[in-house]
Amino acid sequence: MKIVFITSNKGKVKEAQKYFDSIGVNIVQQKIEYPEIQAKELEEVVKFAIEWLKDKIDKPFFIDDSGLFIEALNGFPGVYSAYVFKTLGNEGILKLMEGVKNRKAYFKSVIGYYDGEIHIFKGIVNGRIGYTKRGNLGFGFDPIFIPEGFTKTFAEMTTEEKNKISHRGRALEAFSKWLKENLI
């Protein structure tokens, strides 16, 4: 079975493919620019994007929107994570966090799958923001995020290690379970 993944992020495709290999699903990456609305919730962003994309793609497809939510920054960057990463990067977040003792944060991933209907799958992982960038694996904010119960950042973990505990791994787990029950 093949499913189209609408994303320009090769890291997300790599994570998804490693996860879906075990259930015989092949991920086909398709890069299509689509509008990302400014909203309070990732779910709203995903649903809007699917509504915009559904008439432009004739196959079932999915998208993923993820965000880093930092407690001391009132949930910032949250739904603006991609933009903030492109403009401020990890260095900018670390600068904003200088002198801040409360390092609590969480990553959230929302996967939207469209097959004539919209299906939403979510995953959250709690953790904290480190004091420096560590590791060269992963992408985005991975070098500064340390998941709860670990001393390594996501960027110090292999894809397999990260998938077992990450926000996207949890959303992919829910998505693959649904696929097995409904399509495969």
Tokens of 6: 């609408």
pLDDT 10s digits, 83-121:
999 999 999 999 999 999 999 999 999 999 999 999 999
**Is 141 annotated as a binding-site member?**
yes
C-alpha–C-alpha distance, residues 133 and 143, integer Å: 5
Cβ atoms within 10 Å of 32's Cβ, excluding its own: 15
Give yes or no for residue 184 having a pLDDT over 70: no
Which one of the listed residues 21, 55, 65, 115 is annotated catalytic? Answer: 65
The candidate with the shortest Cα–Cα distance to 65, out of 112, 18, 128, is 112
**Is 40 annotated as a binding-site member?**
no
**Is 2 annotated as a binding-site member?**
no
Domain ranges of the chain: 1-181
Look up 55 and say whether it is catalytic: no
Supply the CATH classification number for the domain 1-181: 3.90.950.10
pLDDT 10s digits, 152-180:
999 999 988 988 899 988 999 999 889 88
- pTM, 2 dp: 0.89
C-alpha–C-alpha distance, residues 75 and 67, integer Å: 9
CB 61 within 8 A of CB 53: yes
How high is the mean pLDDT of the chain? 92
